């Protein structure tokens, strides 16, 4: 996605999350994040927003401390805290040079990393809260979902995939998007991935090939599958289903 799109998605999805949460029981549980209530999930996202703002406003070359961000408040006050933090995050993301070196996952990188990350953080948790509120959740926009899958496999997979839990033996998983014709800006090779689980690590490539297992669905549903929001039973699955379920069990992101 282009950075302008990332910024707009992060803000719009963040606002929608807040709107839904404000009309629900904050003590209700979140099925897709069973350890959290709606209020606790709002607090988590609000804390992340403030942490990213801290990262972006820390002088270059210095490492911010997570202790500078206080815990989120409990009860209805979390909604105000969230709203304030989202506004500050949006303004900070837009004001920051996207090429400026800042702290990112696993080291340092360009600040644009965080506009992308916040777009997916807010979209995914907006979906979580709509489900928890008993609504029919809106799908994640196709271009956002495609980039979310890419981010998960490129950025989240290396540090957060428990290969030992998967028990690799060279298995392959093919992910195939079924609605590319409805998504603008799709390029050659977009929408299909081959994930190979080897003893030394996981390899991800683009392309169409037969895998030990294949999962097909809309870009939104595939993104929700990759992030363990939808089980393989909710998509079209072929081959050895256990490869897909083992992937979700080992994907801690």
Tokens of 42: 């709002």
* Residue with the two structure tokens 């992030």: 227
For 226-244, how does the pLDDT look when each residue is reduced to its tens digit (9 = 90+)? Answer: 999 999 999 999 999 999 9
For 109-151, how does the pLDDT look when each residue is reduced to its tens digit (9 = 90+)? Answer: 999 999 999 999 999 999 999 999 999 999 999 999 999 999 9
**Main-chain phi, psi angles of 57, to 5 degrees:** -105, 0
Which helix (H) or strand (E) covers residue 77, if one does? Answer: helix 77-95
Rounded Cα distance between 178 and 64, Å, is: 42
**Cβ–Cβ < 8 Å for 201, 191:** no
For 209-228, how does the pLDDT look when each residue is reduced to its tens digit (9 = 90+)? Answer: 999 999 999 999 999 999 99
For 17-59, how does the pLDDT look when each residue is reduced to its tens digit (9 = 90+)? Answer: 999 999 999 999 999 999 999 999 999 999 999 999 999 999 9
The residues near 203 (Cβ < 8 Å, ≥ 6 apart) are 195, 196
Q: How confident is the model at residue 187 (pLDDT cuts 50, 70, 90)?
A: confident
**Cβ–Cβ < 8 Å for 150, 226:** no
Rounded Cα distance between 43 and 77, Å, is: 10
For the whole prediction, is pTM greater than 0.85?
A: yes
3-class DSSP assignment, residue 207 = coil
**Cβ–Cβ < 8 Å for 21, 57:** no
């Amino acid at each position: 996605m282009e950075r302008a799109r990332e910024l707009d998605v992060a803000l719009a999805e963040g606002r929608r999350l807040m709107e839904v949460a404000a009309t629900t029981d904050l003590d209700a549980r979140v099925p897709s994040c069973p350890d959290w209530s709606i209020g606790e999930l709002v607090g988590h996202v609000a804390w992340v927003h403030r942490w990213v703002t801290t990262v972006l406003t820390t002088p270059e070359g210095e490492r911010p401390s997570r202790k500078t961000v206080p815990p989120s408040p409990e009860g209805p006050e979390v909604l105000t805290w969230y709203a304030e933090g989202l506004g500050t995050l949006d303004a900070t993301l837009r004001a920051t040079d996207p090429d400026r070196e800042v702290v990112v996952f696993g080291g340092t990188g360009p600040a644009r990393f965080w506009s992308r990350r916040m777009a997916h953080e807010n979209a995914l948790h907006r979906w979580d809260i709509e489900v928890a509120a008993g609504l029919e959740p809106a799908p994640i926009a196709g271009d956002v979902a495609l980039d979310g899958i890419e981010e998960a496999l490129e950025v989240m997979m290396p540090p957060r995939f428990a290969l030992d839990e998967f028990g690799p033996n060279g298995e392959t998983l093919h992910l195939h998007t079924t609605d590319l014709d409805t998504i603008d800006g799709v390029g050659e090779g977009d929408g299909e991935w081959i994930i190979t689980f080897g003893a030394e690590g996981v390899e991800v490539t683009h392309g169409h090939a037969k895998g030990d297992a294949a999962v097909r669905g809309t870009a939104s549903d595939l993104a929700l599958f990759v992030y363990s929001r939808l089980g393989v039973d909710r998509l079209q699955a072929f081959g050895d289903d256990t490869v897909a379920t083992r992937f979700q069990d080992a994907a801690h992101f």
